[in-house]
Chains A and B, each alone.
Chain A
Amino acid sequence: MGNKKELSRRNFMQAAIWGIGGLIGVGFGVPAVAYVVGPSLKSQQAQTWMRLGPTSKVELGTPTLFTFTIQTQTGWIVNSEEISVYVLSKDGRDYIAMSNICTHLGCHVRWITDQNLFFCPCHNGEFDVNGNVIAGPPPRPLNRYEVKVENDQLYVLVGG
Protein backbone atom coordinates (compact mmCIF):
# COMPACT_ATOMS: atom_id res chain seq x y z
CA MET A 1 0.00 0.00 0.00
CA GLY A 2 1.35 3.57 0.25
CA ASN A 3 2.92 5.00 -2.93
CA LYS A 4 3.82 2.98 -5.98
CA LYS A 5 7.58 2.95 -5.53
CA GLU A 6 7.37 0.87 -2.37
CA LEU A 7 4.95 -1.62 -3.81
CA SER A 8 6.81 -4.88 -3.48
CA ARG A 9 5.46 -8.20 -4.69
CA ARG A 10 4.62 -9.12 -1.10
CA ASN A 11 2.75 -5.89 -0.48
CA PHE A 12 0.88 -6.21 -3.74
CA MET A 13 -0.24 -9.75 -2.90
CA GLN A 14 -1.26 -8.68 0.57
CA ALA A 15 -3.34 -5.80 -0.77
CA ALA A 16 -4.87 -8.04 -3.43
CA ILE A 17 -5.84 -10.69 -0.89
CA TRP A 18 -7.46 -8.17 1.44
CA GLY A 19 -9.16 -6.45 -1.48
CA ILE A 20 -10.58 -9.62 -2.99
CA GLY A 21 -11.47 -10.94 0.46
CA GLY A 22 -13.29 -7.70 1.22
CA LEU A 23 -15.21 -7.93 -2.05
CA ILE A 24 -16.24 -11.50 -1.27
CA GLY A 25 -17.28 -10.40 2.21
CA VAL A 26 -19.46 -7.64 0.77
CA GLY A 27 -20.74 -10.11 -1.82
CA PHE A 28 -22.05 -12.31 0.97
CA GLY A 29 -22.97 -9.61 3.46
CA VAL A 30 -25.16 -7.37 1.32
CA PRO A 31 -27.32 -10.15 -0.16
CA ALA A 32 -27.59 -11.75 3.28
CA VAL A 33 -29.02 -8.57 4.79
CA ALA A 34 -31.43 -8.06 1.86
CA TYR A 35 -32.49 -11.70 2.12
CA VAL A 36 -33.14 -11.59 5.85
CA VAL A 37 -34.77 -8.16 6.01
CA GLY A 38 -36.70 -8.28 2.70
CA PRO A 39 -40.01 -9.84 3.76
CA SER A 40 -40.15 -7.67 6.89
CA LEU A 41 -40.21 -4.54 4.77
CA LYS A 42 -42.84 -5.80 2.36
CA SER A 43 -45.97 -3.65 2.49
CA GLN A 44 -49.22 -5.15 3.68
CA GLN A 45 -51.83 -6.65 1.41
CA ALA A 46 -52.85 -4.11 -1.21
CA GLN A 47 -56.31 -2.57 -1.02
CA THR A 48 -58.77 -3.89 -3.54
CA TRP A 49 -62.36 -3.24 -4.48
CA MET A 50 -64.40 -6.41 -4.01
CA ARG A 51 -67.59 -6.78 -6.00
CA LEU A 52 -70.55 -7.69 -3.79
CA GLY A 53 -73.35 -7.96 -6.34
CA PRO A 54 -76.09 -5.89 -7.96
CA THR A 55 -77.64 -2.98 -6.11
CA SER A 56 -81.05 -4.45 -6.88
CA LYS A 57 -80.42 -7.09 -4.20
CA VAL A 58 -80.48 -4.46 -1.48
CA GLU A 59 -83.90 -4.06 0.12
CA LEU A 60 -84.49 -0.41 0.94
CA GLY A 61 -84.28 0.24 4.67
CA THR A 62 -83.22 -3.28 5.55
CA PRO A 63 -79.57 -4.35 5.96
CA THR A 64 -78.87 -7.00 3.32
CA LEU A 65 -76.14 -9.57 3.80
CA PHE A 66 -73.45 -10.06 1.13
CA THR A 67 -70.69 -12.62 1.43
CA PHE A 68 -67.40 -12.93 -0.46
CA THR A 69 -64.02 -14.58 0.04
CA ILE A 70 -60.67 -12.85 -0.05
CA GLN A 71 -57.31 -14.55 -0.33
CA THR A 72 -54.54 -13.43 1.95
CA GLN A 73 -50.96 -14.57 1.65
CA THR A 74 -48.52 -14.75 4.53
CA GLY A 75 -45.15 -16.07 3.41
CA TRP A 76 -45.90 -19.12 1.27
CA ILE A 77 -49.23 -19.85 2.97
CA VAL A 78 -52.40 -18.72 1.22
CA ASN A 79 -55.50 -18.36 3.36
CA SER A 80 -58.97 -17.71 2.07
CA GLU A 81 -61.17 -15.79 4.42
CA GLU A 82 -64.91 -15.43 4.15
CA ILE A 83 -66.13 -11.92 4.77
CA SER A 84 -69.72 -10.87 5.29
CA VAL A 85 -70.99 -7.35 4.85
CA TYR A 86 -74.40 -5.83 5.61
CA VAL A 87 -75.37 -3.21 3.05
CA LEU A 88 -77.99 -0.66 3.94
CA SER A 89 -79.64 1.88 1.71
CA LYS A 90 -82.53 4.09 2.62
CA ASP A 91 -83.05 5.79 -0.72
CA GLY A 92 -81.40 3.50 -3.28
CA ARG A 93 -78.69 6.08 -3.95
CA ASP A 94 -76.53 6.20 -0.84
CA TYR A 95 -75.23 2.94 0.47
CA ILE A 96 -73.42 2.05 3.65
CA ALA A 97 -71.62 -1.24 4.20
CA MET A 98 -71.11 -2.59 7.71
CA SER A 99 -68.99 -5.43 8.93
CA ASN A 100 -70.90 -8.24 10.65
CA ILE A 101 -68.13 -8.56 13.24
CA CYS A 102 -69.17 -7.42 16.69
CA THR A 103 -66.84 -4.71 17.98
CA HIS A 104 -66.84 -6.31 21.41
CA LEU A 105 -65.05 -9.64 20.97
CA GLY A 106 -65.42 -10.44 17.30
CA CYS A 107 -68.51 -12.67 17.19
CA HIS A 108 -70.81 -12.47 14.18
CA VAL A 109 -73.85 -10.22 14.54
CA ARG A 110 -77.17 -11.03 12.90
CA TRP A 111 -79.90 -8.71 11.62
CA ILE A 112 -83.19 -9.47 13.41
CA THR A 113 -85.95 -8.02 11.26
CA ASP A 114 -88.71 -8.33 13.92
CA GLN A 115 -86.81 -6.29 16.47
CA ASN A 116 -85.15 -3.99 13.93
CA LEU A 117 -81.64 -4.48 15.32
CA PHE A 118 -78.36 -6.30 14.93
CA PHE A 119 -77.91 -8.86 17.67
CA CYS A 120 -74.71 -10.45 18.88
CA PRO A 121 -75.40 -13.85 20.47
CA CYS A 122 -72.18 -13.94 22.51
CA HIS A 123 -72.88 -11.21 25.06
CA ASN A 124 -76.22 -9.79 23.92
CA GLY A 125 -74.73 -6.78 22.17
CA GLU A 126 -77.29 -4.82 20.14
CA PHE A 127 -76.81 -2.33 17.29
CA ASP A 128 -79.37 -0.24 15.44
CA VAL A 129 -79.92 -0.22 11.69
CA ASN A 130 -76.97 2.13 11.17
CA GLY A 131 -74.68 -0.01 13.30
CA ASN A 132 -74.70 2.22 16.39
CA VAL A 133 -74.60 0.52 19.76
CA ILE A 134 -77.97 0.31 21.53
CA ALA A 135 -77.24 -2.10 24.34
CA GLY A 136 -74.67 -4.51 25.68
CA PRO A 137 -70.89 -4.39 25.97
CA PRO A 138 -69.73 -3.34 22.42
CA PRO A 139 -67.46 -0.27 22.77
CA ARG A 140 -68.12 1.30 19.34
CA PRO A 141 -70.41 1.05 16.29
CA LEU A 142 -69.98 -1.67 13.69
CA ASN A 143 -67.01 -1.11 11.40
CA ARG A 144 -67.83 0.28 7.98
CA TYR A 145 -66.39 -0.33 4.56
CA GLU A 146 -65.99 2.24 1.86
CA VAL A 147 -68.63 1.58 -0.81
CA LYS A 148 -68.90 2.50 -4.46
CA VAL A 149 -71.47 1.74 -7.13
CA GLU A 150 -70.41 1.13 -10.70
CA ASN A 151 -72.88 0.00 -13.38
CA ASP A 152 -75.39 -0.93 -10.68
CA GLN A 153 -72.83 -3.17 -9.01
CA LEU A 154 -71.80 -2.69 -5.39
CA TYR A 155 -68.14 -2.67 -4.44
CA VAL A 156 -66.44 -2.43 -1.04
CA LEU A 157 -62.83 -1.56 -0.33
CA VAL A 158 -60.98 -4.30 1.56
CA GLY A 159 -57.43 -4.82 2.76
CA GLY A 160 -54.77 -2.30 3.69
Chain B
Amino acid sequence: MATKINQWLDERTAWHKVWEVIFLRKIPKVNWFYTLGSASLFVALNQAITGILLTIYYVPTPDHAYDSVQYITTQVPLGWLIRGLHHWGASALIILVVLHMLRVIIFGAYKYPREVTWFTGVFLLLVVIGFGFTGYLLPWDQKAFWATTVGTRIAGTPPLIGDYLLRIIRGGPEITAVTLVRFFGTHVWVLPSLLLILIGIHLYLIIRNGISAKPKRGK
Protein backbone atom coordinates (compact mmCIF):
# COMPACT_ATOMS: atom_id res chain seq x y z
CA MET B 1 0.00 0.00 0.00
CA ALA B 2 2.72 2.41 1.07
CA THR B 3 4.84 1.58 -1.97
CA LYS B 4 1.82 2.11 -4.19
CA ILE B 5 1.23 5.56 -2.79
CA ASN B 6 4.95 6.24 -3.16
CA GLN B 7 4.92 5.22 -6.80
CA TRP B 8 1.80 7.26 -7.47
CA LEU B 9 3.39 10.31 -5.88
CA ASP B 10 6.82 9.78 -7.46
CA GLU B 11 5.30 9.50 -10.91
CA ARG B 12 3.73 12.93 -10.47
CA THR B 13 6.38 14.76 -8.42
CA ALA B 14 9.68 12.92 -8.94
CA TRP B 15 10.28 13.42 -5.24
CA HIS B 16 12.63 10.44 -5.07
CA LYS B 17 14.98 12.17 -7.49
CA VAL B 18 14.90 15.27 -5.25
CA TRP B 19 15.54 13.10 -2.21
CA GLU B 20 18.51 11.48 -3.94
CA VAL B 21 20.02 14.78 -4.98
CA ILE B 22 19.73 16.22 -1.48
CA PHE B 23 20.38 13.31 0.85
CA LEU B 24 22.02 10.54 -1.19
CA ARG B 25 24.62 12.68 -2.95
CA LYS B 26 28.24 11.57 -2.95
CA ILE B 27 30.62 13.37 -0.64
CA PRO B 28 34.39 13.14 -0.26
CA LYS B 29 35.92 11.57 2.83
CA VAL B 30 35.65 14.25 5.47
CA ASN B 31 35.78 14.59 9.26
CA TRP B 32 33.52 15.73 12.06
CA PHE B 33 34.32 19.40 11.52
CA TYR B 34 32.27 19.14 8.33
CA THR B 35 29.11 18.63 10.38
CA LEU B 36 29.16 22.16 11.82
CA GLY B 37 27.03 23.53 8.97
CA SER B 38 24.37 20.87 9.52
CA ALA B 39 24.54 21.54 13.25
CA SER B 40 23.95 25.25 12.59
CA LEU B 41 21.00 24.38 10.36
CA PHE B 42 19.55 22.14 13.05
CA VAL B 43 19.81 24.82 15.72
CA ALA B 44 18.36 27.41 13.31
CA LEU B 45 15.40 25.06 12.86
CA ASN B 46 15.11 24.81 16.64
CA GLN B 47 15.08 28.62 16.84
CA ALA B 48 12.34 28.81 14.21
CA ILE B 49 10.09 26.26 15.92
CA THR B 50 10.53 27.59 19.46
CA GLY B 51 10.38 31.19 18.21
CA ILE B 52 7.04 30.59 16.52
CA LEU B 53 5.76 28.98 19.71
CA LEU B 54 6.91 31.94 21.82
CA THR B 55 4.93 34.38 19.69
CA ILE B 56 1.75 32.56 20.71
CA TYR B 57 1.97 34.24 24.14
CA TYR B 58 4.53 37.03 23.80
CA VAL B 59 3.24 40.61 23.45
CA PRO B 60 5.75 43.23 22.23
CA THR B 61 4.55 46.27 24.19
CA PRO B 62 6.23 47.80 27.24
CA ASP B 63 3.28 47.09 29.53
CA HIS B 64 2.97 43.44 28.54
CA ALA B 65 6.35 42.23 27.25
CA TYR B 66 7.93 41.41 30.60
CA ASP B 67 4.74 39.98 32.11
CA SER B 68 3.99 37.84 29.10
CA VAL B 69 7.52 36.40 29.20
CA GLN B 70 7.10 35.66 32.91
CA TYR B 71 3.76 34.06 32.09
CA ILE B 72 5.43 31.82 29.49
CA THR B 73 8.20 30.85 31.90
CA THR B 74 6.12 30.18 35.00
CA GLN B 75 2.50 29.49 33.96
CA VAL B 76 2.34 27.88 30.54
CA PRO B 77 2.98 24.11 30.57
CA LEU B 78 6.57 23.51 29.38
CA GLY B 79 6.88 27.21 28.61
CA TRP B 80 10.19 27.22 30.49
CA LEU B 81 11.40 24.52 28.11
CA ILE B 82 10.36 26.35 24.96
CA ARG B 83 11.87 29.62 26.17
CA GLY B 84 14.98 27.82 27.42
CA LEU B 85 15.51 26.12 24.07
CA HIS B 86 15.18 29.47 22.30
CA HIS B 87 17.46 31.25 24.79
CA TRP B 88 20.25 28.69 24.80
CA GLY B 89 19.77 27.89 21.13
CA ALA B 90 20.55 31.53 20.36
CA SER B 91 23.95 31.30 22.04
CA ALA B 92 24.59 27.87 20.55
CA LEU B 93 23.80 29.15 17.06
CA ILE B 94 26.27 32.04 17.34
CA ILE B 95 28.99 29.66 18.53
CA LEU B 96 28.19 27.10 15.83
CA VAL B 97 28.17 29.52 12.92
CA VAL B 98 31.50 30.98 14.03
CA LEU B 99 33.03 27.50 14.32
CA HIS B 100 31.53 26.64 10.93
CA MET B 101 33.13 29.74 9.44
CA LEU B 102 36.50 28.88 11.01
CA ARG B 103 36.33 25.41 9.53
CA VAL B 104 35.64 26.85 6.10
CA ILE B 105 38.61 29.20 6.49
CA ILE B 106 41.01 26.59 7.88
CA PHE B 107 40.12 23.96 5.28
CA GLY B 108 40.16 26.51 2.48
CA ALA B 109 36.61 25.61 1.48
CA TYR B 110 35.78 29.17 0.40
CA LYS B 111 37.94 28.86 -2.77
CA TYR B 112 36.83 28.38 -6.37
CA PRO B 113 34.12 27.39 -7.21
CA ARG B 114 32.56 28.06 -3.80
CA GLU B 115 33.05 31.81 -3.42
CA VAL B 116 29.34 32.60 -3.70
CA THR B 117 28.55 30.08 -0.96
CA TRP B 118 31.04 31.98 1.19
CA PHE B 119 29.45 35.33 0.36
CA THR B 120 25.99 34.12 1.35
CA GLY B 121 27.61 32.69 4.48
CA VAL B 122 28.98 36.11 5.40
CA PHE B 123 25.50 37.62 5.08
CA LEU B 124 24.06 34.73 7.06
CA LEU B 125 26.50 35.53 9.86
CA LEU B 126 25.31 39.14 9.86
CA VAL B 127 21.68 38.02 9.93
CA VAL B 128 22.36 35.68 12.86
CA ILE B 129 24.06 38.49 14.76
CA GLY B 130 21.06 40.70 13.93
CA PHE B 131 18.80 38.03 15.41
CA GLY B 132 20.86 38.03 18.57
CA PHE B 133 20.83 41.82 18.87
CA THR B 134 17.10 42.29 18.27
CA GLY B 135 16.07 39.25 20.30
CA TYR B 136 18.00 40.42 23.34
CA LEU B 137 15.64 43.37 23.88
CA LEU B 138 12.40 41.39 23.72
CA PRO B 139 12.20 40.10 27.34
CA TRP B 140 12.13 43.82 28.29
CA ASP B 141 13.93 43.39 31.59
CA GLN B 142 16.76 45.54 32.95
CA LYS B 143 19.44 43.55 31.16
CA ALA B 144 17.59 43.79 27.86
CA PHE B 145 16.97 47.50 28.21
CA TRP B 146 20.52 48.47 29.14
CA ALA B 147 22.18 46.11 26.69
CA THR B 148 20.15 47.71 23.92
CA THR B 149 20.93 51.16 25.26
CA VAL B 150 24.63 50.39 24.98
CA GLY B 151 24.32 48.52 21.69
CA THR B 152 22.40 51.26 19.94
CA ARG B 153 24.72 53.89 21.38
CA ILE B 154 27.60 52.10 19.66
CA ALA B 155 25.67 52.47 16.41
CA GLY B 156 25.54 56.20 17.20
CA THR B 157 29.32 56.66 17.34
CA PRO B 158 30.26 57.12 13.66
CA PRO B 159 30.75 60.80 12.74
CA LEU B 160 28.06 62.59 10.69
CA ILE B 161 25.65 59.66 10.27
CA GLY B 162 25.89 58.34 13.82
CA ASP B 163 23.01 60.28 15.27
CA TYR B 164 20.70 59.41 12.36
CA LEU B 165 21.69 55.77 12.64
CA LEU B 166 20.89 55.70 16.34
CA ARG B 167 17.53 57.38 15.79
CA ILE B 168 16.64 55.01 12.95
CA ILE B 169 17.50 51.94 15.00
CA ARG B 170 15.69 53.20 18.11
CA GLY B 171 12.80 54.78 16.23
CA GLY B 172 13.53 58.03 18.07
CA PRO B 173 16.11 59.40 20.47
CA GLU B 174 15.17 57.06 23.35
CA ILE B 175 14.42 53.37 23.79
CA THR B 176 10.64 53.24 23.91
CA ALA B 177 7.65 51.20 22.83
CA VAL B 178 8.60 52.10 19.26
CA THR B 179 12.02 50.50 19.72
CA LEU B 180 10.56 47.36 21.24
CA VAL B 181 8.03 46.75 18.51
CA ARG B 182 10.45 47.48 15.66
CA PHE B 183 12.99 45.10 17.17
CA PHE B 184 10.20 42.54 17.42
CA GLY B 185 9.13 43.10 13.81
CA THR B 186 12.70 42.82 12.64
CA HIS B 187 13.26 39.71 14.75
CA VAL B 188 10.19 37.78 13.58
CA TRP B 189 9.59 39.06 10.03
CA VAL B 190 12.53 40.82 8.40
CA LEU B 191 15.40 38.62 9.56
CA PRO B 192 13.58 35.28 9.16
CA SER B 193 12.71 36.20 5.56
CA LEU B 194 16.34 37.08 4.84
CA LEU B 195 17.52 33.95 6.62
CA LEU B 196 15.21 31.72 4.61
CA ILE B 197 16.33 33.21 1.29
CA LEU B 198 20.01 33.09 2.18
CA ILE B 199 19.87 29.54 3.56
CA GLY B 200 18.05 28.50 0.39
CA ILE B 201 20.84 29.87 -1.80
CA HIS B 202 23.54 28.57 0.55
CA LEU B 203 22.15 25.02 0.51
CA TYR B 204 21.48 25.06 -3.22
CA LEU B 205 25.10 26.02 -3.86
CA ILE B 206 26.40 23.35 -1.48
CA ILE B 207 24.46 20.69 -3.39
CA ARG B 208 25.24 22.22 -6.78
CA ASN B 209 29.02 22.42 -6.20
CA GLY B 210 29.39 19.51 -3.78
CA ILE B 211 31.30 19.93 -0.55
CA SER B 212 35.05 20.44 -0.64
CA ALA B 213 37.45 17.63 0.16
CA LYS B 214 40.05 17.99 2.86
CA PRO B 215 43.00 19.90 1.41
CA LYS B 216 46.16 17.88 0.83
CA ARG B 217 49.72 18.93 1.43
CA GLY B 218 51.39 20.29 -1.72
CA LYS B 219 48.20 20.98 -3.61
Residues of A within 8 A of B (CB): 28, 31-32, 34-36, 38-39, 75-77
How far does the Cβ of A56 sit from chain B's closest Cβ, in whole Å? 42
The 6 closest A-B pairs by CB, nearest first: A38-B77, A76-B71, A76-B67, A31-B78, A34-B77, A35-B78
Asked whether B186 is an interface residue with its Cβ less than 8 Å from the other chain, the reply is no
How far does the Cβ of A41 sit from chain B's closest Cβ, in whole Å? 9
Taking a contact as CB atoms under 8 Å apart, the answer to whether A76 and B77 are in contact is: no
Question: Given A35-B53, A35-B76, A39-B76, A76–B81 Cβ distance below 8 Å?
Answer: no
Taking a contact as CB atoms under 8 Å apart, the answer to whether B78 and A34 are in contact is: yes
User: Which residues of A lie under 8 Å from residue B70 when comparing CB positions?
Assistant: 76
Q: In the docked arrangement, what's the CA distance between A39 and B53, Å?
A: 14
How far does the Cβ of A44 sit from chain B's closest Cβ, in whole Å? 15
Taking a contact as CB atoms under 8 Å apart, the answer to whether B71 and A28 are in contact is: no
CB within 8 Å of A: which B29-71 residues = 46, 49, 53, 56-57, 64, 67-68, 70-71
25 interchain pairs, CB-CB under 8 A: A28-B46, A28-B49, A31-B78, A31-B81, A31-B82, A32-B49, A32-B53, A32-B82, A34-B77, A34-B78, A35-B56, A35-B77, A35-B81, A36-B53, A36-B56, A38-B78, A39-B75, A39-B76, A76-B64, A76-B67, A76-B68, A76-B70, A76-B75, A77-B64, A77-B67
User: Which residues of B lie under 8 Å from residue A34 when comparing CB positions?
Assistant: 77-78
Q: In the docked arrangement, what's the CA distance between A39 and B77, Å?
A: 8
Please pick, from A28, A38, A77, the residue contacting B76 in the complex, using a CB distance under 8 A: A38
User: Which residues of A lie under 8 Å from residue B64 when comparing CB positions?
Assistant: 76-77
User: Which residues of B lie under 8 Å from residue A76 when comparing CB positions?
Assistant: 64, 67-68, 70-71, 75
User: Which residues of B lie under 8 Å from residue A39 when comparing CB positions?
Assistant: 75-76
Asked whether B79 is an interface residue with its Cβ less than 8 Å from the other chain, the reply is yes
Q: In the docked arrangement, what's the CA distance between A77 and B82, Å?
A: 21
CB within 8 Å of A: which B81-96 residues = 81-82
How far does the Cβ of A31 sit from chain B's closest Cβ, in whole Å? 4
CB within 8 Å of A: which B191-219 residues = none
Q: In the docked arrangement, what's the CA distance between A123 and B57, Å?
A: 41
Q: In the docked arrangement, what's the CA distance between A35 and B75, Å?
A: 10
User: Which residues of A lie under 8 Å from residue B78 when comparing CB positions?
Assistant: 31, 34-35, 38
Q: Which residue of A lies closest to B46 (CB)?
A: A28
Q: In the docked arrangement, what's the CA distance between A130 and B46, Å?
A: 62
Given pairs A28-B46, A35-B53, A38-B78, 9 additional interface contacts (CB within 8 A): A28-B49, A31-B78, A31-B82, A32-B49, A32-B53, A35-B56, A39-B75, A75-B57, A76-B75
Q: In the docked arrangement, what's the CA distance between A76 and B57, Å?
A: 10
How far does the Cβ of A20 sit from chain B's closest Cβ, in whole Å? 11
Q: In the docked arrangement, what's the CA distance between A28 and B49, Å?
A: 8
How far does the Cβ of B48 sit from chain A's closest Cβ, in whole Å? 11
Q: In the docked arrangement, what's the CA distance between A77 and B67, Å?
A: 8
Q: In the docked arrangement, what's the CA distance between A28 and B47, Å?
A: 12
Q: Which residue of A lies closest to B59 (CB)?
A: A76
Q: In the docked arrangement, what's the CA distance between A8 and B80, Å?
A: 41
How far does the Cβ of B56 sit from chain A's closest Cβ, in whole Å? 6
Q: Which residue of B lies closest to A32 (CB)?
A: B53
